[in-house]
Amino acid sequence: MKLLLLLGLVALAQCLVTRVPLRKVKTLRQTLEEHGLLERYLQQHPYNPAAKYFRRRFSAEPMQNYLDNSYFGTISIGTPPQEFTVIFDTGSSNLWVPSVYCSSQSCSDHKRFNPAKSSTFIGTNDSLYIAYGTGSMTGVLGYDTVTVADLKIIDQIFGLAETEPGNFFYYCPFDGILGLAFPSIASSGATPVFDNMMTEHLVSRDLFSVFLSKDEQSGSFVLFGAIDPSYTTNGINWIPLSAETYWQITMDSVSIDGESVACSQGCQAIVDTGTSLLAVPNRALRAILRTLGANSNSEISCRAASRLPDIVFHINGKAFPVPASAYVTEIEGYCSLGLQGMNVPTEAGELWILGDVFIREYYVIFNRANNMVGLSRLS
């Protein structure tokens, strides 16, 4: 009703413009954008005659949920396009895929980019090395057309993997990684994909949002340039970034049953779609496991697990609970907690990683315009 009324008012204003030529009337697009209704209007009226006057500058990329362990979608590189599955990783900033130059075992089981088959590829002599928490790669940099959903980025720099040591990537169900963090942490100074989306005005808003499904269900997506209002019915809590590197924020504390168990003096955390679990500083992990009654390997009896309380993350004055149903995993009668120990020091203390275990409970908005993270509790 609100949308129809607004369209009627706009139509009336446009009719009156010939009678009052000195009055500047906003366009339909401007009015819809101001009221946050443009995206809904375009979705509901895909064949509206006025559609030719709009440029649809937001795009959803569906992602496959693989065992609640990783989420990946399909992109293409080159002309004609060569398709690859990639993790959309807010914990790194580089795009890379295996190449025909790679002889590692990990590359043998994945699609490999062939620059000789792309008429738009531009090679360089620049090398690339990236180390992740698990796995690493080396390669060379090149430029080519990259398509993510229906967004086409011209001359996007990316890595062509030549080595992928070890066997971690061999067992991964995806080919490569598309980093969505800030340019400041990009290896070899490569410009991230989303930065080029913004520079080339491919998105109407300088943000993207993520929904991760539960229990291996379909429906996961990353939405470039927009916020889906159907996932924000519980409101959005905006959290300012504490550093423009990862999507890094300051946490106030972590509590269980109303008692602080860790981060009591504040700590740093990153919201990372590329990490499956909750990665916790080792000292804090021991305190949490002790409070929950789990052993040092994060194992717990399934009977006890059914009665576990929420782990509550206090951020920017708000509480963000993660229930036991989110952080307990049961496999063949054995239960474990979705937490892992890790020590990553920063200038402001040790770093926490809020991975997929946390993100599945919230619709997450990564806002580059205001350098904030938005969290909306999912029903």
Q: What is the mean pLDDT of residues 218-222?
A: 96
Is 131 a domain residue?
A: yes
pLDDT band at 97 (very low <50, low <70, confident <90, very high): very high
Residue 40 has pLDDT above 60, yes or no: no
CB burial of residue 183 (10 Å; 0-12, 13-18, 19+) = middle
CB burial of residue 7 (10 Å; 0-12, 13-18, 19+) = middle
How confident is the prediction for the chain on average, in pLDDT?
86
Query: Is the alpha carbon torsion for 200, 202, 208, 211 positive or negative?
Result: negative
Are 161 and 211 in a shared domain? yes
Active-site residue flag, 89: yes
Phi, psi at 357, each rounded to 5°: -55, -40
Half-sphere exposure of 227 (CA within 13 A, CB side): 21
177: CATH: 2.40.70.10
CA distance 69 to 126: 33
Are 219 and 235 in a shared domain? no
Are 327 and 267 in a shared domain? yes
Is 164 a domain residue?
A: yes
Q: pLDDT value at position 11?
A: 32
Q: pLDDT value at position 343?
A: 82
Q: Shortest CA distance to 84 belongs to which of 94, 97, 93, 70?
A: 97
Are 168 and 233 in a shared domain? no
Phi, psi at 3, each rounded to 5°: -65, -45
Q: What is the mean pLDDT of residues 365-379?
A: 96
Q: What is the mean pLDDT of residues 100-115?
A: 93
Q: Shortest CA distance to 59 belongs to which of 188, 218, 226, 252?
A: 226
Are 177 and 263 in a shared domain? no
Is 108 a domain residue?
A: yes
Domain housing 194: 59-224
Is 30 a domain residue?
A: no
pLDDT band at 134 (very low <50, low <70, confident <90, very high): confident
Tell me the per-residue pLDDT of 302-319, one tens digit each, with 9 for 90 and over.
999 989 999 999 999 999
Task: State the DSSP H helix or E strand holding residue 49, giving kind and residue range, or none if neither.
Answer: none
Is 34 a domain residue?
A: no
Q: pLDDT value at position 349?
A: 67
Are 86 and 193 in a shared domain? yes
Q: What is the mean pLDDT of residues 200-220?
A: 96
Query: Is the alpha carbon torsion for 25, 28, 29, 32 positive or negative?
Result: positive
Q: How many domains does the chain have?
A: 2
Are 201 and 345 in a shared domain? no
Catalytic residue among 228, 272, 310, 356: 272
Half-sphere exposure of 236 (CA within 13 A, CB side): 18
pTM for this prediction: 0.84
Are 233 and 335 in a shared domain? yes
DSSP 91: T
Q: pLDDT value at position 145?
A: 98
pLDDT band at 348 (very low <50, low <70, confident <90, very high): low
pLDDT band at 138 (very low <50, low <70, confident <90, very high): very high
Is 208 a domain residue?
A: yes
Is 31 a domain residue?
A: no
Query: Is the alpha carbon torsion for 317, 273, 358, 40 positive or negative?
Result: positive
CA distances from 45 to 20, 40, 219, 263 (A): 30, 8, 22, 49
Are 103 and 160 in a shared domain? yes
Is 47 a domain residue?
A: no
Point out the domain boundary residue: 173, 208, 224: 224
Point out the domain boundary residue: 224, 239, 254: 224
pLDDT band at 169 (very low <50, low <70, confident <90, very high): confident
Residue 10 has pLDDT above 50, yes or no: no
Are 112 and 216 in a shared domain? yes
Tell me the per-residue pLDDT of 45-92, one tens digit each, with 9 for 90 and over.
433 433 333 344 678 999 999 999 999 999 999 999 999 999 999 999
Q: pLDDT value at position 131?
A: 87
Catalytic residue among 89, 175, 195, 310: 89
Q: What is the mean pLDDT of residues 216-223?
A: 95
Q: What is the mean pLDDT of residues 204-232?
A: 96
Q: What percent of the chain has pLDDT over 90?
A: 74
CA distance 275 to 193: 20
Strand partners, 71: 65
DSSP 119: T
Are 94 and 186 in a shared domain? yes
Are 89 and 203 in a shared domain? yes
DSSP 313: E
Q: What is the mean pLDDT of residues 221-238?
A: 96
Point out the domain boundary residue: 224, 249, 265: 224
